[in-house]
């Protein structure tokens, strides 16, 4: 069954992409995901919310700096994978995150804002040069190990080489091996910010903090795949 990679050209494609996106993120468990998504009761609500969110981001994007990429199974015409790649020029200050997708004033909102702001701060202190960022990547559960994920990663890497910039990925521990096979190198652990360790935390805060929120910082130099022991990230 041939797989074909393409760049999303119309927001109407999200009607097919987002259901696959939602279902694909259900396994394996992603402890960070809940902080980037709203607390909604059903699959249908999540899909409707994310179609609206992605459509807005797609229509407001600079098409020369941000791309939605999909992989389609041409035998069934089914979209089986999606990635969002973005050129990060590292201009301006990193602003604190405002988690408008969470209930105003809730522990979930405060936790998400603290966690995400800490993540961006950690990355911003290290990755100071223009680079290609992988914002998101997901492959449908029934179609994993067919090469779709590698196709999506390699598209971003090749675009980075074309633009003359490095590639940076904030990876979940479960995905590290896949990124290494695609040409990126593991540089260091991304720990959750110490600012999450508040005084007198609520039961909800303790519950959220109980997850392993660490990640892996992956990097690839310009023009060739990472070689361990040879290549060195510029902030090391």
Topology (CATH level 3) of domain 3-220? Aminopeptidase (3.40.630)
Q: What is the pLDDT of residue 91?
A: 85
pLDDT tens-digit map of 161-208: 999 999 999 999 999 999 999 999 999 999 999 999 999 999 999 999
Domain ranges of the chain: 3-220
Q: What is the pLDDT of residue 93?
A: 82
What distance in Å separates the CA atoms of residue 144 and residue 131, rounded to the nearest whole number? 27
pTM of the model: 0.95
Average pLDDT, the chain: 96
Q: What is the pLDDT of residue 92?
A: 77
Below-50 pLDDT ranges, the chain: none
Got the DSSP string for the chain? --EEEEE---GGGHHHHHHHHHHHTTSS--TTGGGTS---SSHHHHHHHHHHHHHHHHHHS-TTTEEEEEEEETTTTEEEEEEEEEEE---S--PPP--TTS-TT-HHHHHHHHHHHHHHHHHHHH--S-EEEEEEEEE-GGGTTSSHHHHHHHHHHHHHHHHT-EEEEEE-GGGHHHHHHTT-EEEEEEPPPGGG--SS--HHHHHHHTS---EEEEEE-SSS---TTT---TT-
């Amino acid at each position: 069954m041939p797989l074909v990679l393409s760049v999303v050209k119309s927001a109407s494609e999200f009607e097919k992409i987002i259901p696959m996106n939602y279902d694909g993120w259900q396994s394996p468990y992603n402890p960070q995901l809940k902080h980037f998504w709203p607390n909604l009761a059903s699959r249908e609500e999540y899909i409707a919310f994310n179609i609206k969110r992605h459509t807005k981001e797609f229509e407001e994007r600079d098409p020369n700096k941000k791309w939605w990429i999909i992989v389609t199974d041409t035998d069934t015409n089914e979209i089986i994978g999606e990635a969002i790649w973005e050129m990060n020029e590292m201009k301006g200050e990193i602003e604190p995150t405002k988690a408008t997708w969470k209930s105003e004033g809730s522990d979930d909102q405060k936790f998400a804002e603290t966690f995400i702001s800490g993540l961006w701060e950690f990355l911003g202190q290290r990755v100071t040069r223009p680079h290609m960022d992988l914002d998101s990547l997901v492959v449908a559960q029934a179609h994993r190990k067919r090469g779709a994920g590698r196709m999506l990663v390699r598209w971003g890497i090749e675009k980075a080489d074309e633009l003359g910039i490095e590639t940076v990925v904030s990876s979940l521990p479960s995905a590290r091996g896949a990124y290494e096979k695609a040409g990126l190198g593991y540089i260091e652990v991304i720990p959750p910010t110490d600012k999450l360790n508040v005084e007198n935390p609520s039961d909800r805060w303790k519950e959220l903090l109980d997850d392993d929120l660490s990640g892996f910082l992956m990097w690839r130099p310009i023009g060739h795949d990472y070689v361990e022991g040879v290549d060195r990230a510029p902030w090391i």
